[in-house]
Amino acid sequence: MKLYTKTIAQTLPNWATVVTKSADLFEIEINDEHPNFQSLLEKLETEIEPGTFGVKAEDLCSRLGIEMFNPNLHYLVDQAQTLIFEIATHPDYK
């Protein structure tokens, strides 16, 4: 499982690893099969709606000390344009 966050805690659990880091975004890979992660999920599990149990992303992030990245459409369009430009100008692009 991957999470994209604006901030991270100084120390992450051994089942969470920072994969990439840019100026305003961290990509975190979570080993969701790790027993300690599964134990945390069990502690955070709540009834989200009648008959549906799960873990709210907000609760998980709060426990990990991270802030979720929830970009607006303008930001996503800017990022897409930048990526398209980088692809178009790459020497291997044909």
The ranges assigned to domains in the chain are 2-89
Euclidean distance between CA atoms 44 and 59, whole angstroms: 7
Question: Structure tokens of 68?
Answer: 């979720």
pLDDT, tens digit, 9 for 90 and up, residues 33-75:
999 988 988 899 988 888 888 888 788 888 887 776 666 777 7
CB atoms under 10 Å from CB of 71, counted, come to 14
Q: Is the pLDDT of residue 19 over 70?
A: yes
Q: Which of 6-10, 41-45, 46-50, 78-82 has the highest mean pLDDT?
A: 41-45
pLDDT of residue 7: 81
Give the pLDDT confidence score for residue 34 in this predicted structure. 92
pLDDT at 71: 63
Sorted by sequence, the CB contacts under 8 Å of residue 89 that are 6+ apart come out as: none
The tokens describing 13, both together, are: 């659990």
